[in-house]
Structure 1
Amino acid sequence: MKKIILPVFILLSIVLAACGSSASGSSDDGTVEIAILDSDVYSSLLKHIQANLKEEGIDLEFVYMSDWNMFNQALANKEIDLNFFQHKQFLKNANETNGWNLVPIAETFNFALGYFSTKHKSLEEIPDGATITVPSDPVNNGRSLQILHDAGLIKLKEGVGFNGSQADIIENKKDFKIVEVDYNMLPQTLEDSDLTYIAGTLAPRAGVTQEDALITGGPLDEFTMVLAAREDNKDNEIIKRIAEEFESTETQKLLMEEFPNEIIWP
């Protein structure tokens, strides 16, 4: 299958050109287009599923995207049939923000995540006024702050959990400077920060593994990675068959063997 890399301006051109058309994925020819991030975890999973479904006459075609804002927009606009790049909470937030009705149809793994440092070997070494870099998007930002709270580095308002923001910090005794940056830019901040939040597919880029983490965060149901469809195609038999492959024991075993440091399969 030919790999397709779509910059944002090309994808927008496709969306405009196809305005008013419907997606081909659940059509009679058995072709389904799914958007994913260009990373080893996603590619390995999808190629495995693609090969299995090919024997059944289902042609799973990949569309690689890099801009998180485009995945759900393209799905809602029927430019693709499925996407696989987000966890439940991200999808929930996208639906609430944009008025979409996108639905999770298969649940898979949590990405392993935590805080890393190239300057310090333990939390005890983290100095007053240290710089901590966290993701800027609201969903992952809230999760990153919750982990700092659980580790005792900051204190959040009672009950905010992973829905908090810096405005919810009620105690920061060591005057940490919490700097928000784009999620995908976090590996580049590792050398300059005292602590950096790194999750999943970013770990290889940052050159770290879970064994290097000074703080780790366990799996949460709300942060389980999901396969997303639309309300109008989720009950299509081909779409349902693809969802089954995502949740299969065979798929789980393959991913856990290939990426033991990157993912956690609850």
Structure 2
Amino acid sequence: MKKIVSLLILMIIILAACGSAEGNTSKNRTVTIAIQDSELYETIVEHVKKKVEDEGIDLEIVYMSDWNIFNQALANAEIDLNFYQTRQFLQNANETNGWNLVPIADTYFNNQGYFSSKYKTLEELPEGATVIIPSDPVNNGHALHVLQQGGLIKLKEGVGFQGSQSDIIENKKGLNLVEVDFNMIPNMIEDSDLSYLATRTIIQAGFVLEDALILGDYHEEFIMVLAAREDNKDEEVIQIIAEAFESEDTKNITIEKHPIEIVWH
């Protein structure tokens, strides 16, 4: 009888060990995340990478530069996550391409506004001034909204953040609005009278927030999100990474290193 009891105990121990091993295996995997090559993104993702290592997760960072590739790669399951866009940008990408990508963690709001190397106030801005704004639809609409907020233009009622230049119904100073790639704007500061900058491009152009002639308001639609697919968003490893993104220590280290660029949600 003692032998039978001992055998049962041994079997229970073995089964428990197997269950534990299976639990660890579920987390012991590599998860790929695509980000832009930026100190701000790296601050967050490198911190999260170290944080989830204790959970047996290897967060592999993939760098991309073309904004059009990030979501396509995620939709095609070539990567597991991406971190580079606002909630509004993701929504627009889904609507435009028929994707089913989902935000699974909220992080920070981009400080953004209009800056000038030539003028200190909006009143100094001359008639027909050249104003540089982003060309992509989401940032373009946001930039026009902020320009309206500063009282320099008026948009059709109801366009919100979805406006384009065709929606401008009043341009008080006859501003010449020039659309360029968002990432190129810091290189064009000297050739413009006023330029729209956000987060890292503010620093690239050599400004601080106090230099802004117009500083944009906080909006939930423009919080930066961690994105996954509908088919992987509920996986345990994905949820662990999402929690790490939203953790208090991730927030604190990011605010400490990038106070000019962001406001945490």
Aligned partner of 1:248 in structure 2 is 247
Alpha-carbon distance in structure 1 between the residues aligned to 2:115 and 2:172 = 21
Amino acid at match of 1:84: F
Residue in structure 1 matched with residue 117 of structure 2 by the alignment = 118
1:47 aligns with 46
- Partner amino acid for 1:61? E
Q: Indicate the structure (1 or 2) with the bigger Cα radius of gyration.
A: 2
CA distance, structure 2, for counterparts of residue 198 and residue 27 of structure 1: 43
Consecutive unaligned residues in structure 2, runs of 5 or more: 1-24
- Aligned pairs, number: 241
Q: Shift of residue 222 of structure 1?
A: 0.4
SS at match of 2:251: helix
Give the deviation of 1:210 after TM superposition: 1.0
Mark the CA change 1:27 to 1:184 in structure 2 (over 3 Å): closer, same or farther: farther
| 1:181 CA drift (Å) | 0.4
Question: 1: CA distance between counterparts of 2:28 and 2:228?
Answer: 18
Per the alignment, residue 190 of structure 1 pairs with 189
2:261 maps to 1:262 = yes
Distance 1:28 1:263, change over 3 A: closer
Q: What is the identity percentage for the equivalent residue pairs of Structure 1 and Structure 2?
A: 61
Structural mapping, 1:177-256, within 5 Å: 177-256=176-255
Aligned to 1:96: 95
User: Could you give the per-residue CA deviations for residues 162-215 of structure 1, whole angstroms, max 9, x where no partner exists?
Assistant: 111100000012110001001111111111100000001212221112121111
State the distance in 2 between where 1:155 and 1:221 align: 22
Quote the Cα distance in structure 1 between the aligned partners of 2:26 and 2:33. 14
The aligned residue for residue 6 of structure 1 is: none
Amino acid at match of 1:210: L
In structure 2, the CA distance between the partners of 1:177 and 1:27, relative to structure 1 (3 Å rule), is: farther
The corresponding residue for 1:17 is: none
Q: Distance in 1 between matches of 2:37 and 2:116?
A: 26
Aligned partner of 2:106 in structure 1 is 107
Q: Does the CA-based 8 Å contact 2:27-2:55 persist in structure 1?
A: no
Q: SS in structure 2 opposite 1:163?
A: coil
Which amino acid counterpart does residue 82 of structure 1 have in structure 2? L
Return the letter of the residue paired with 2:145: Q
1:72-122 Cα offsets, whole Å, 9 max, x none, are: 000011110000000000000000111100000001101111100001111
Q: Does 1:36 align with 2:50?
A: no
Corresponding residue of 1:13: none
Q: Report the Cα distance in structure 2 between the residues aligned to 1:27 and 1:190, rounded to whole angstroms.
A: 50
Q: Hey, what's the Cα distance between the residues in 1 that align with 2:200 and 2:71?
A: 20
- In structure 2, the CA distance between the partners of 1:244 and 1:35, relative to structure 1 (3 Å rule), is same
Residue aligning to 1:57: 56
Alpha-carbon separation, structure 1, partners of 2:128 and 2:203 = 28
> In 2, Cα distance between the equivalents of 1:121 and 1:203?
16
Displacement of 1:252 after TM fit?
A: 0.8
Partner of 1:174: 173
Aligned to 1:144: 143
- Point out where structure 1 has 5 or more consecutive residues left out of the alignment: 1-25
How does the TM-score come out when normalised to structure 1? 0.89
Kindly indicate whether the alpha-carbon contact (under 8 Å) linking 2:27 and 2:56 is maintained by their aligned counterparts in 1.
no
Change (3 A) 1:78 1:177: same
| 1:109 counterpart SS class | strand
**SS of the residue 1:107 aligns to:** strand
CA contact (8 A) 2:27 2:57 kept: no
Residues of 1 paired with 2:172 and 2:56: CA distance? 60
Structure 1 position 27, deviation (Å): 7.2
Task: Indicate how the Cα distance of structure 1 residues 27 and 74 shifts in structure 2: closer, same or farther if over 3 A, else same.
Answer: farther
Task: Report the Cα offset of residue 160 of structure 1.
Answer: 1.0
Please state how far the C-alpha of 1:28 moved relative to its aligned partner. 6.2
TM-score by length of 2: 0.89
2-structure distance, mates of 1:32, 1:60: 5
